[in-house]
Amino acid sequence: MIRIVLADDHAIVRTGFRALIEEEPDLAIVAECGNVDEARAAVRTHAPDVLALDISMPGGGLTLVAELAASDPHPRLLVLSMHDREPYPTEALRRGAHGYVTKAAATDELAMALREICAGRLYLSRDIAQVKPATESTAGMLSEREHAVFLRLARGMTPKQIAFDLGISIKTVYLHRSMLRSKLGVRNDLELHRVAVAQGLL
């Protein structure tokens, strides 16, 4: 059972999300919150698997994402937002979110997103993850090690996790990431994820 704290300052939105989640036998809401302070307290009290939160809540949803991401342990963090354009998705991931779902896509994708991030993967709703495939396959552009780092970054792993997983230094991971961005013509890990999705690698 995936235990969820749901945080949004609009009660009608929480009601809609609750209805979606309660249809799923493996998902359960353990607390609802209307602001950042309530969400912070609910995480301490219930130790949920996921905090699903609106970044526009009073008190600053992105601030709470960064705060929780810096703590250990912490729940998986799923951002729910009305914003489908940059800089919001990239900023949410930069601060430590594991997934980003627009409210327009939530009806179809919320349950999937919750399961994906709990499985250790990054999730972006389809309406912000669509890009044209690169003209050349990444397999023909990257070394074997670069490709291994690319896939892990695209799945949402941190440089520290990648370094441990591949048995290399964090400095080497950062070097590979820099080379990947240059070779693929992307600016950040969100765009790396989009390339992987577009080429059917995720």
Q: Residue 197: which residues within 8 A CB-CB, separation 6 or more?
A: 124, 129, 130, 131, 154
Q: pLDDT for 90-114, tens place per residue?
A: 788 888 898 999 888 888 899 999 9
Domain boundaries along the sequence of the chain: 2-129, 138-198
The tokens for 189 are 């890990």
Q: Which pTM was predicted?
A: 0.69
Task: Give residue 59's region: left, alpha or beta (phi > 0; psi -120 to 50).
Answer: left
Give 89's pLDDT tier (boundaries 50, 70, 90). Answer: confident
The tokens for 34 are 């209307």
Kindly state the percentage of the chain with pLDDT values over 70.
93
In angstroms, the CA 41 to CA 178 distance is 38
In angstroms, the CA 180 to CA 200 distance is 18
Give the fold, CATH level 3, of 2-129: Rossmann fold (3.40.50)
The tokens for 95 are 């601060």
So what's the pLDDT on residue 52? 97
Q: pLDDT for 11-43, tens place per residue?
A: 989 999 999 999 999 999 999 999 999 999 999
Q: Higher model confidence: residue 83 or residue 141?
A: 83
Lowest mean pLDDT among 52-61, 152-161, 168-177, 181-190: 181-190
Please name the CATH architecture into which domain 138-198 falls. Orthogonal Bundle (1.10)
